Structure 1
Amino acid sequence: MPQVVADVWVPVSPETAFAVSQTTGETRLRWDRFIRHQHLIDADRPGKGVRTFTRARLGPSMISQYASYRPPTSVGMTMVKGPWFFASFGGGWRFTPATQDGVDGCRATWKYSYTIKPAWLRFVAEPIGQWLLGREIRARIAAWADGCRDPEVLAATWADS
Structure 2
Amino acid sequence: MPNVTSTVIVPVDPTTAFAVAQTTGDVRLRWDPFIRRQYFLGGATDPAVGVQTYTRHRWGLGMVSEYVSYAPPTNVGMKMVRGPWFFSQLAGGWRFAPTDGGTKATWKYSFHCRPTWLAPLAEAIGRRVLQRDIDRRIAGFARGCRDEVVLASVRDAGGEAT
Q: TM-score if structure 1 supplies the norm length?
A: 0.96
> Do 1:63 and 1:81's aligned partners in 2 also have CA atoms closer than 8 Å?
yes
Map Cα deviations across residues 38-58 of structure 1 (whole Å, 9 max, x no partner).
Answer: 001120111111000000011
What is the SS of the residue equivalent to 2:149? helix
Task: Return the match for 1:119 from 116, 121, 126.
Answer: 116
1:136 shift after superposition: 0.4
Task: Return the match for 2:141 from 125, 140, 144.
Answer: 144
Q: TM-score if structure 2 supplies the norm length?
A: 0.95
Map Cα deviations across residues 116-145 of structure 1 (whole Å, 9 max, x no partner).
Answer: 011111121111001000000001000000
- Root-mean-square deviation (Å): 0.7
1:160 shift after superposition: 2.6
What is the SS of the residue equivalent to 2:16? helix
- Paired amino acid for 2:98: P
Q: Which residue of 2 aligns with 1:90?
A: 91
Q: Which residue of 2 aligns with 1:14?
A: 14
Distance 1:92 1:74 in 2: 7
- Paired amino acid for 1:64: S
Distance 2:92 2:64 in 1: 13
- Paired amino acid for 1:43: A
Q: Which residue of 1 aligns with 2:5?
A: 5
1:159 shift after superposition: 1.3
- Paired amino acid for 1:125: A
Q: After the TM superposition, list the runs of 4 or more consecutive aligned residues in structure 1 that deviate by more than 4 angstroms.
A: none
Map Cα deviations across residues 82-127 of structure 1 (whole Å, 9 max, x no partner).
Answer: 000000000000000011xxxx200000000000011111121111
- Indicate whether 1:107 and 2:104 are aligned: yes
Map Cα deviations across residues 57-78 of structure 1 (whole Å, 9 max, x no partner).
Answer: 1110100000000000000000
What is the SS of the residue equivalent to 2:73? coil
Residue-pair matches, total: 157
1:157 shift after superposition: 1.6
Runs of 5+ unmatched residues, structure 1: none
Q: Which residue of 2 aligns with 1:53?
A: 54
